[in-house]
Amino acid sequence: MMPHITSADGTPMSRFCFGTMQFGGPADETASRAMFDACRAAGITFFDTAFVYTGGASETLLGEFAASERDSLIIATKAAYEGGSSAHNILTGFEISRGRLGMDYIDILYLHRWDADVPLEETFGALAGLKSAGKIGHIGVSNFSAWQGMKAQAVAGKLGVRIDIMQPMYNLVKRQAEVELLPMALSEGIAVAPYSPLGGGLLTGKYNNGGAGRLAEDGRYAARYGPGWMHDAARNLADLAAETGIHPATLAVAWVARNPAITAPIISARTADQLKPSLDALALTFDDTLYAQITALTPTPAPATDRLEEA
């Protein structure tokens, strides 16, 4: 059974989450506010940030924007991307995050990534302490594999808490999560809020004509989405978008959202205009045929057993 995640006043989690990674960086305060307002107008109640985003500006701006309706929103942040997952690093960073956000209580706190050097008992002991103190509502993990998630869940259970939500990468050209992580989440009742449904902007089609963006500016994204077949898929998605009259970004986000294991894709942008096609996916329902057409644009990963005849 999936966890029941609502805001403090009982407002349900929206079907999409907005990721504020650009707030205070590529998106200045004015652009950030415009995107926040566009999300609220579209019914978004779930907002995601992290300790490391834009040197803290992301948390600060989100806190300012959310203050007037705090109890109606679900706010998530992430801890321990840098410095390891020791109790000291988690707790110290969390207090800084609370100060930036201007919030006594955070709805979801994610462990930002796996740390093989710190015992899970120490890490989840710190998270359990925050939950028992009423400082967080739900524990999440980001960038964990399925086996890491289940190992952590076992430790969490011994401490009287559980992982309620996971945040993996998932999009049309990054489908590894389909092999074990998404089936695990469905089986174990863990919500899934995947990031990068647009593949770092690749699936918007803008790079087909030499457009600018993270793939051109950030070496990590260039490597992550460098294989030629991914760019072929983006061009084919753009062709399908032209045939259907639907923006490729809308198709890409809606494709992620349609997977039964997905709770709320995390959408993001640098401007409100850039954000609009992703928000439009909230209203898009497409039939099995179109979903299958989009799915066929990229290889379906082999099952975990690698028994292809059973796929």
Residues forming the active site: 53
Cβ of 79: how many Cβ atoms within 10 Å? 29
For residue 90, count CB atoms less than 10 angstroms from its CB and return exposed for 0-12, middle for 13-18, buried for 19 or more.
Answer: buried
Judged by phi (left if over 0) then psi (alpha if -120 to 50, else beta), residue 140 lies in: beta
φ/ψ of residue 191, rounded to 5: -70, 155
Distance CA 16, CA 194 (A): 10
User: Could you give the angle at the alpha carbon of 54 between the alpha carbons of 48 and 59, nearest 5°?
Assistant: 40
The residue behind tokens 């930002």 is: 112
Nearest to 83 by CA among 74, 92, 75: 92
User: Could you identify the residue written with the tokens 């956000």?
Assistant: 101
DSSP string, 229-272: HHHHHHHHHHHHHHHHT--HHHHHHHHHHHSTT-S--EE--SSH
202/235 Cα distance (integer angstroms): 9
Helix (H) / strand (E) containing 140: strand 136-142
Widest CA span of the chain, in angstroms? 55
HSE at residue 217, side-chain half, CA atoms within 13 A, is 7
